[in-house]
Structure 1
């Protein structure tokens, strides 16, 4: 496979993936980033730097899209022991397995609400990625349980900076601040006072520690599909339906999982579809006509640019680090 000279740095293994149809790299994989200051996912212009671990070791992965929306190629360069493994899984990571053809069928599209049709029209290159990274994703999503996004992103950044390893090539070929998420053993070694400094309460830290204890079993779920994945995740105390949905959206590119129990989602979806607000049960009922495609519908609604009116109090950050 040929790679442009600008993306053939010394010591890297390289590959490229040509999407079938429209594709937008940034919109497709941004769901894998935990905020703009995520130490494991750094964006610099067209360059997307990811650091993670594979079964063969850690890897730094550089992704860049070239060409136009409907005629492009994603170029990749990888460093570290896990380079070959990461490049082998590259198409799945980028969303190659995510098939929108049924969603885009004129007959199905005609059943969609106007905002979902608009969102898909504005973002025809959106795909749902499948990272396959179970422990990393579980830890990140658990940090988001029952807190604001600001708190979760800060905790993730603090814990990776303090306990994650330096990514292969960081400071030379890759950005200096690029970090690997902690291993299962590194998660287990985080002392209680550093969870506290990160702003993570005992319930969330306990869930992450329990997940780390069964990390090998969690990672095996990456190769499975459907209810066996959900059951495996729910077997970890502290992981419920919201966490399962948020995880499989990222690890398996699930087109149907919706985050029941989310602080904002039910109100957002119902406002977009009806102009009124409802609860989780009401949201599930509203999305019932598009069973099998509900996550795609939700992503299309967000992609439309629709924003619901804000009423009532916001969920405010709770800083208990001084207690």
Structure 2
């Protein structure tokens, strides 16, 4: 087994649920860039400003978080380990009324919002998830990474580092088609990666400025920006407006309404600013789901068109 280029132990000063904190970074169970092992270990392959890097993180109850990293990006990843695991997140300001949400908050003190500091790594898969089922998006992400990503540094041959901005830009149209990605989403990715340097600056911007920077790209709307900033910035207030399910989950959990609009959702969440995304994460942990009506959204297949 290849020796890690660097190791780091870090002891958080807050409870930490490693799996729940990093779960949003995994794009489906077969994600080539992020794996969550049954023993709680998390593997990530990233393209950092210093180059490709692989990060392995493990946490034991009562002990420090132990991380190992490989590749040119190893130092960059280990230096930012605390931010990745929610050290810069501050959930203390969220005060919830008695009920299921407060119970979820009490039962999950280790839930933190991760912060990767990498915009493009979350923006591209968010674009792939626009207006399609998660299965379609995850399949496209896997296929594109296996075809155009690079083997990750370190001991795990299953991991792939996502393409660099230039490599995304050079993917020909028929390869997007083969991966099941329609021209609208493919074109949006191509526009975004050509502005990669400016978009990466959003990782250090306040909420409103970061949203404005991302949504200046044609095809990147409020939902895509929120899904990106939740991960790259640990943005506790980024609400995924336009999500197929979220508005109904919020309406049901808060007022027992089985169907809601985005406007109604935002009204319900407004008192919890600047923790609206955090509230949505807690709603997910309550298990409360509105009744289902009609068939599920059927997957599209753009490969035969």
Name the SS of the counterpart of 2:3 in structure 1.
coil
Query: Which consecutive residues of structure 2, in runs of 5 or more, have no partner in the other structure?
Result: none
| Offset of residue 9 of structure 1 | 6.6
Counterpart in 1 of 2:276? 294
CA contact (8 A) 1:122 1:304 kept: no
Contact 2:18 2:40 in 1 (8 A): no
SS in structure 2 opposite 1:314? coil
Do structure 1's residue 118 and structure 2's residue 111 form an aligned pair?
no
Distance 1:60 1:11 in 2: 10
Q: Is the Cα contact below 8 Å between 2:20 and 2:111 reproduced in 1?
A: yes
TM-score by length of 2: 0.96
Q: State the shift of 1:123 in Å.
A: 1.3
Alpha-carbon distance between aligned partners in 2 of 1:321 and 1:183, rounded to the nearest angstrom: 24
Where do 5+ consecutive residues of structure 1 fail to align? 1-7
Distance, in Å, in 2 between the alignment partners of 1:221 and 1:95 is 18
The Cα offsets for residues 249-282 of structure 1, whole Å up to 9 and x where unpaired, read as: 1111111111111111111110111211211111
TM-fit CA distance, 1:64 = 0.3
Q: Note the 1:1-323 alignment, pairs <5 A.
A: 10-44=3-37, 45-67=39-61, 71-103=62-94, 108-109=95-96, 111=97, 114-169=99-154, 173-174=155-156, 176-276=157-257, 277-323=259-305
Q: Secondary structure at the match of 1:232?
A: helix
Q: What is the deviation of 1:191?
A: 1.1
Shift, 1:291, TM fit: 1.7
Check conservation: 2:252, 2:288, Cα contact below 8 A.
no
Aligned length: 303
Structure 1 length normalisation: TM-score? 0.91
Query: Displacement, 1:226?
Result: 2.3
CA RMSD of aligned residues (A): 1.4
SS in 1 for 2:117: coil
Instruction: Determine helix, strand or coil for the equivalent of 1:321.
Output: helix
Match of 1:5 in 2: none
Give the whole-Å Cα distance in 2 for the aligned partners of 1:244 and 1:59: 25
Q: In the alignment, is the contact (CA less than 8 A) between 1:248 and 1:254 conserved in 2?
A: yes
